[in-house]
Amino acid sequence: MTLSLRIHERMLSNAFDLGIFEQVIRSYADGHLPVSEVKGPDFPVLGDHFHPVLALVAPFYRLWPGPQVLLVVQAALIAVSVLPLALWARRALGSGAAAVIGTCYGLSWGLANAAGFDFHEVAFAVPLLACSLAALGSDRLRAAACWAVPLVLVKEDLGLTVAVIGFLIARRGERRLGIATAAAGLVGTALAMLVILPAFNPQGSYAYTHWLTTDTGAEGGGEGGWLDLLYKVTIGLITPEAKVTTLLFLLAPTLFLALRSPLLWVALPTLVWRFASGLWTHWGTSYHYSIVLMPIVFAAFIDALVRRESSGVSLRRYLVGSAAITALLLPQFPLWQLAKPETWRPDPRVAVAHKLMDRIPDGATVQASNQLVPQLTDRTSVSLYGWGDSRPDPEWIMVDTEVPQQRKWPLSVGEERISLDRALAQGYRTAAEQAGFVLLTRSG
């Protein structure tokens, strides 16, 4: 929580995704179906991804309107997910093992990346998966099914994860329960992707099939045919090397012992869609995409230790190895920012930005730079400056012209300068310009 709140305070959170998700939850809090101005004028977000679980955050948002409530909820969901895994480890392996495994899981890089990159609906999946897999590993099969089925309300692809859990339940002897759980997952995903999302989407289709049919990787790419799709779901699952690196980072904290547990199969749907995707950001260890994999991997680790009947020296060896690898990985991921002085050093530009944003009235239509958007989503109708789908002709424009080129998005420095000149030529006037921030308005 401290990390994500500090990132937001330093104006390093983003329109995609904190801005979008705050607009979604603000919609629920106002009593209507979710829309996001960042995605487009009055864009119906239930046509983008299926995540009705976010309505649960609306009561908290009404009490404390602002992006901070989303970050606190996400941190709480991650923290709660430690408990079922640690309690299972304590029952099966002892208190020492529970402390080490709980700590390694809580500090794991997949959770850290999610906490360090805005807010995402998949945070709700983490405690559900932890509870379901802890129950499954303890042969409490009905509880495992009950915790798994709500995943269909978190995101459209997670019904496939539910189906795998159902298969494992059936494999452990509860055949009817397992089949019912798997069917619920498959039907949930089918309804979301084939019925609900197309019904709300302005284009009348599921928006993300192009991830499988189009190559948008780092080397460029173009439209792919069936041969390309076949390649992506075979050899393409382990190439390029970023995918193998991700697998190594996932399994290394368990000393690869997780491979010996059937619970690891639950990770397959997420890994397959990510590695078959043509979008290169899905392949690696960055962003939030691995958050749902962490409870699966650590549940598989516990299950494998139990199956091996590890105890004494053998158990300590695995626990020490897991802790050592977790410690070695820690400096490469966002939690390490908490130890850096620059994280806590005040930036005078932040105060300037807020002083200028205070001049924008509540309810105004605004286009703003990427990292200014989440500072305005709680009280204005804000979209992303330079994004082609943003609402045209807003009442206000606010741009941070001093963002480093590597973080400048969606416009380059040159494109941004041209765009600002064009706005001035079209009737906007400069309301303020200070410390690299430019505030334009149409109002008198």
| pLDDT tens by residue, 420-432 | 999 999 999 999 9
Q: Give pLDDT, residue 203.
A: 92
Report the run of H or E that residue 29 belongs to, with start and end: helix 20-29
**DSSP letter (8 states) at residue 278:** S
Instruction: Provide, rounded to the nearest whole percent, the portion of the chain with pLDDT above 90.
Output: 88
Q: Give pLDDT, residue 211.
A: 76
Please indicate whether residue 234 or residue 410 has the higher confidence score (pLDDT): 410
Give the integer Cα–Cα distance in Å for 46 and 130.
Answer: 26
Contact 71, 1 (CB under 8 A): yes
Give the integer Cα–Cα distance in Å for 141 and 144.
Answer: 5
**DSSP letter (8 states) at residue 223:** B
Give the integer Cα–Cα distance in Å for 302 and 290.
Answer: 19
> pTM, whole model, 2 decimals?
0.94
Give the integer Cα–Cα distance in Å for 241 and 284.
Answer: 9
| pLDDT tens by residue, 151-182 | 999 999 999 999 999 999 999 999 999 999 99
What's the mean pLDDT when you consider all of the chain? 94
| pLDDT tens by residue, 314-363 | 999 999 999 999 999 999 999 999 999 999 999 999 999 999 999 999 99
